[in-house]
Structure 1
Amino acid sequence: MTSGRVVLVGGGPGDEDLLTVGAVKALAQADVVLFDRLAPHRRLAELAPHARLIDVGKTPGHHPIPQDEIEKLLIQHAHAGSFVVRLKGGDPFVFGRGGEEVLACRRAGVEVTVIPGVSSAVAVPAAAGIAVTHREVSRMFTVVSGHAPLNETELAGLAGLASTIVVLMGVSNLPQITQGLMRHGLPASTPIAVIERGYTIEQRSLFSSLDRILYDAATAGVTSPAVLVIGEVVAFANREDPNSAFVLDAAASLAPLE
């Protein structure tokens, strides 16, 4: 049996310009590419000209190819002698299930390596003009998966950190997250930003406060995928961004999003 190999590649938050040099090289050499919905795939046929392209993307609540089937495909193609690229959005090891895929390959005796990617946890806030750390404002940030509701211990811990909170995949649980943080002592006036589809041509940002965000998000029609940023650093974002609506000031009215 010819021995192939697998490379897990972080594709960044969606913009091809954020692919690393290593990612581009791996795609150019690939025989097979299994790619996710949020990975940069618009020009994938050009970036991986010799590869068979397999869409294994998931949407919220809809997983047409289960995770164990994805792992079986990686192993199957590698055992057939192929150089397999598993292209993921963001970084493979930041809520990307990359660790599970590495373990599956190792158990099957398949050589596997990882090329890190630009994580949406820092890149998407940056696209909206938000630095997740800021001198004398926030000296740490915490990245949280919002895919499932947070429990009371988690909410209390986050509320007590006095730092920036970045939530990935958190739109569906926005009410539970924001209400829980306030219940555990985070001030209602705490700034929050919701950045939809960061680093794509459809990016837009909504800036509000914990006590207003549910109304503002409903008014603006916020949808996934989006990154939530909670903390005082949000107040330092670029207010001149034409794709942003600011409602941080109590007297301000919600500006329409373009």
Structure 2
Amino acid sequence: MSLTDIIARVDAICKKYEKYDVDNHNDPIVSGEDVFARLYGVVEADTNATLQKSEAAANEKNTATAVKGLSKEELEARNDSVSALKERIEAIPDGSTTSGAKQTGGWTASTSYTGIKIDSASGITLSNLLSKVLINLDGEYIMTVGNIQNDQGLDVIIEGLDTLKNMAHDMNEEFDRQISLMDEIDDKVDRANAGLKNTNVRLKETVTKALDGIPGQHVAILGHMSYPCLLQCTKAQECLKKVIMVLGALATTELLPWLLY
């Protein structure tokens, strides 16, 4: 084996196993956790491989224009098998639609079909496949962003509800404290009213006893005599002093209008 054959053999082996070489896959466009970048790299690699195969086929003679050694029935059977395979491929859901509609394209199942061609009329091109992939990725991204926004909105609503709940709890506690204060105030008012009534009763009894100590004739004199004449009566003066003392004590309280009434 010559040196040229060895080099050609090594190149062929390297080319065959180059997809397992880690250094060839360190391109930043296909690295990381980005699903789109990895899928785009795979599609680009398949495209490059297809282009290389097409160039190699163009350099060779076209031996597929006519198939020798096959009968017309066998050729029609092969065409029917290809049509059935095409329908099975189209029946595979792509995830972008839910209607399950099939693309008719330009392929037709016919027994008179004499060639196998994949061209732009069939609707199955690399650009269509890539556009479907991009649409699926964009749809997943939009759904993800929408879910994140919905989650953020729900978080805001939950925070607002928690705030309202805390406010309601604080208001209930404040109402409980106010109720206890109002009860205490009512108790103090009731005790003050009871004490006031008792004081009024005692004061009324004291005034009544003081007036009962004045003789009947002096009481009559109090109704008909003038003030200078009253001063001449010693007993009347003493009784008046008692009354004045009682009235002075009453003047310091709010019970004087009640007594006068």
Class of the TM-score when normalised by the shorter of the 2 chains: under 0.3
Structure with greater proportional helix content: 2
Larger radius of gyration: 2
Bigger relative contact order (CA 8 A; separation at least 6): 1
Going by fraction, where is strand more abundant, 1 or 2?
A: 1
What is the TM-score normalised by the length of structure 2?
0.18
TM-score, structure 1 length as denominator? 0.18
